[in-house]
Amino acid sequence: MKLPLLIAAAFCAASAPAAAEGPPLPPYPEALRCAALTEAAATLATGTAEEAPRFDAAVFWGLAASESARKARLPSARFKQDQRESGAAALERLKAADAAAAAELEACRRRVPPVEPARRRQIP
Amino acid (1-letter code) at residue 7: I
pLDDT digit string, tens, across residues 95-111: 999 999 999 999 999 99
Alpha helices (H) in the chain, listed in sequence order:
3-14, 28-44, 51-71, 76-95, 99-110
Radius of gyration of the CA atoms of the chain, in A: 14
| Mean pLDDT score across all residues of the chain | 83
**Tens digit of each residue's pLDDT (9 = 90 or more) over 23-62:** 788 999 999 999 999 999 999 999 888 888 899 999 999 9
| Gap between the Cα atoms of 104 and 26, Å rounded | 14
For residue 13, pLDDT over 60 is answered with: no
